[in-house]
């Protein structure tokens, strides 16, 4: 069992899972999930993520839901840690659910770009990714309960 772990109640609150689906969909593709997508996300959570979580993991999740602007930063800084992360797992599950729908799936399909445009976009996205990690490192230090 991970440090400070607690068992999440088996029947996780449906409303909270739907709120997560909304927050993660807005973060990932700047759109609203359909009720069907939210329900599938909730079902996937119950199947895959019904186990234990640490106090820090719960604090991270609560912060992202209370202050959605922190989500890109905290997701980025968690990616850099390369350690088990409930937040990362939940965002990944949302990505998988969105990617396998006809409505949102096209936003996960390959994009065709000319060489110069591709290089320019990659440079901008790389800069944004680094900025997110740096911002996330600051947030983890200043917000309560988020230090590893």
Tell me the two tokens of residue 102: 């006809």
Residues contributing to the site for another protein (CB under 8 A): 27-29, 40, 43-44, 47-49, 72-73, 75-76, 79-80, 82, 84, 88-89, 91-93, 95-97, 99-102, 105-116, 118, 121-122, 125-126, 128-129, 132-133
Q: Say how many Å lie between the first and final Cα of the chain, rounded.
A: 16
Q: Which is nearer to another protein, 45 or 56 (CB)?
A: 45
Cβ 66 to another protein shortest distance, Å = 19
Cβ 47 to another protein shortest distance, Å = 5
Cβ 133 to another protein shortest distance, Å = 7
Cβ 132 to another protein shortest distance, Å = 5
């Amino acid at each position: 069992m991970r440090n400070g772990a607690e068992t999440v109640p088996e029947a996780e609150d449906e409303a909270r899972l739907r709120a997560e689906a909304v927050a993660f969909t807005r973060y990932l593709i700047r759109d609203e999930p359909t009720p069907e997508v939210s329900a599938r996300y909730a079902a996937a959570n119950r199947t895959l993520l019904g186990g234990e979580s640490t106090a820090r993991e719960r604090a991270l999740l609560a912060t992202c839901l209370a202050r959605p602007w922190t989500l890109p930063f905290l997701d980025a800084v968690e990616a850099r840690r390369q350690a088990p992360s409930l937040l990362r797992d939940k965002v990944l599950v949302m990505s998988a659910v969105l990617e396998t729908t006809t409505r949102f799936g096209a936003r996960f399909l390959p994009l065709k770009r000319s060489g110069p445009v591709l290089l320019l976009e990659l440079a901008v996205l790389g800069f944004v990714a680094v900025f997110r990690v740096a911002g996330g490192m600051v947030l983890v230090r200043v917000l309560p309960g988020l230090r590893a």
